[in-house]
Amino acid sequence: MIRVTVPLGERSYPVVVGAGARAVLPELLPPGRRAAIVTQDGIPFAVDPAREHRRFTIGHGEEHKTLATVERLCREFVQWGLTRADVVVGVGGGMVTDVAGFAASVHHRGVPVVHVATTLLAMVDAAIGGKTGVNLPEGKNLVGAYWQPAGVICDLDALTSLPEREQRCGAGEMAKYHFLTGDHLLGLPLGERVARCVEIKADVVAADERESGRRALLNYGHTLAHALEVADGYRMAHGEAVAVGLVFAARLARHLGRIDDRRVEEHLDVVGRAYGLGTEVPTGMDPDDLVALMARDKKALDGLTFVLDGPAGLEVVAAVPVDAVRAVLTDDRRSARA
């Protein structure tokens, strides 16, 4: 097994990656009486916290990633008698870790949380770094809190039963890391690749825990991705949307004169050819609707804000001209129809 530390001083915590990693759960749990296990029905992955525990379930789908779900969880915690001396354990994918982490952050103003990630998306992104949150009708992840876990487990055994679409969803986030560092991740065995993604994210989080600067780079491809998810009623999986968002961001950067055709082709090589993901904005998407949704993005600073590639690598770029965004969106729609 591989252990990676997210270095946050007194709040540093381990991320354990490997087959059978769930066996270390009891040693990662902080002292306490009981554990509230937050998960979803149908996740074929049982954990044993080696202490008194109770299972709490949330619904599947982004329509359940809401404040109402968090309120219900917290009320159930109260009814069971969960206190700040206990712990929440999130077992599932990115939605579970987001919701369980947010519920833990607000219940009694903060209960420790440990995540057991069961999807590739959660392992390389959602469960790491302490960002939690839920959706509003106006947009994705607009309400949340920073609440670092006490530990994270990435048990590769959970991936053996993962549906193909969930594998693709994680691949979209994994592709992002190629452009953050330039690492050639595709040559690594899966466990080492997951661990390297965790290391990259851990370094970024340690330098900018609350996304006041460098951490925003982890949202590469996400400005359009979140808009696509909302516009499509969350039928489009997150990683699939991120894949499209990565290539769109590269094309937008080229349109603005920041990168050349060769660099756009590198994005297509990684996202489309290596990971086999879609790279075009789906047909039927209205550019004006997407622009309006992107304007609500939580990292928006001054008008439309994107993480864009450039001569010095990725950086946050504010006040991106609407006409440029609309032009690239229109070109993508034409490509999708061709």
* Enzyme catalytic residues: 109, 131, 173, 201, 211, 215, 219, 222, 226, 238
The pair phi, psi for residue 260, each rounded to 5°, is: -110, 180
The pair phi, psi for residue 308, each rounded to 5°, is: -130, 145
Contacts of 227 (CB under 8 A, 6+ apart): 290, 293, 294, 297
Residue with tokens 């330098």: 207
Name the pairing type of β-strands 131-136 and 315-317.
unpaired
Neighbouring-strand partners of residue 65? none
Residue with tokens 């202490």: 51
* Ordered alpha helix ranges (H), 186-321: 190-207, 222-231, 238-255, 261-268, 287-294
Neighbouring-strand partners of residue 35? 53, 87
Q: What is the dihedral of CA 251, 257, 260, 263, to 10 degrees?
A: -50
The pair phi, psi for residue 246, each rounded to 5°, is: -65, -45
Q: How far apart are CA 12 and CA 279, in angstroms?
A: 37
Diameter over CA atoms, the chain: 60
The residue type found at 85 is: A
171's enclosing H/E stretch is helix 164-181
Query: Which of 222, 28, 228, 46 has its CA nearest to residue 125?
Result: 222
Q: How far apart are CA 200 and CA 98, in angstroms?
A: 20
67 token code pair: 């404040």
